[in-house]
Amino acid sequence: MKSGSLPRVRLRALFIVILLMPLLLQCKGGAEQDSAGARVPPPASSPCPIESGPCRATYKGGVVVLDISPRPLLPMRELDFKVTLHNLAGSSVYALDLSMPGMYMGPNMIEMRPGAAEPWVFTGKGVFARCPTGGTLWRARVMIREADKSEGEAGFEFEVGR
């Protein structure tokens, strides 16, 4: 081997790795993050077929139901988000955090408000951002404040169209 050929090979490899690195950071794979960039565990049941009806998750002996409309769910469209709490007396939903598993998409929090007639039903409006690389799997974290002011969350994963 000629002297100097090894550094040249290393330099070439480094250059190729740098140029290819972006492809390794696309919407599929990578770290699990919420919209604030923190690592979070995946929800118990995923993905939920939300296109065919509301999604359910258990939470501390109760049930949290998430529904999004109008269907089909599409990015960059204003959507109505509805969360219903069952058997969770005194608990309330204050926000919904939307994120993409495996890709940091920035903070996307939806403020949720209780219904006047049905205080266990919470609604809000939000928009899913479009992932140009074709990713469609989204995560919604329902942020719950309980009667004793402690906080928890219920997670859902589902597909959103392109």
Partner 1 sequence: MTAGFFLAMGTGALGGFGHCLGMCGPVVATHALGRSSLRQALYHLGRLITYSALGAIAGGLGSVVGLAARIEGIQNALMSLVGVAMVWVGFGIWRGRSPAGSFLEARAHLVLGRARTIMQLPAGLSSLFFGLLMGFMPCGLVYTMLIGASGAGSAEAGAWLMLGFGLGTTPGLMAFGMTVSSLSGHMRARLLKAGGVVVAALGVYYLYKGIGFHAAL
The site for partner 1 (CB under 8 A) is made up of 8, 11-12, 14-16, 18-27, 35, 37, 75-78, 100, 103-108, 126-127, 129-135, 162
Question: Does the CA dihedral 130-153-48-32 come out positive or negative?
Answer: positive
Q: Based on CB atoms, which residue is closest to partner 1, 25 or 147? A: 25
Q: Based on CB atoms, which residue is closest to partner 1, 1 or 117? A: 1
Closest CA to 123 of 138, 142, 105, 108: 142
Closest CA to 158 of 41, 51, 25, 63: 51
The secondary structure of 57-72 as a DSSP string is EEETTEEEEEEEESSS
Q: How far is the CB of 38 from partner 1 (least distance, A)?
A: 10
Q: How far is the CB of 62 from partner 1 (least distance, A)?
A: 30
Q: Based on CB atoms, which residue is closest to partner 1, 6 or 14? A: 14
Distance CA 7, CA 13 (A): 10
Q: How far is the CB of 55 from partner 1 (least distance, A)?
A: 22
The token duo for 127 is 């928009």
Q: Based on CB atoms, which residue is closest to partner 1, 7 or 90? A: 7
The token duo for 155 is 């997670």
Q: How far is the CB of 52 from partner 1 (least distance, A)?
A: 22
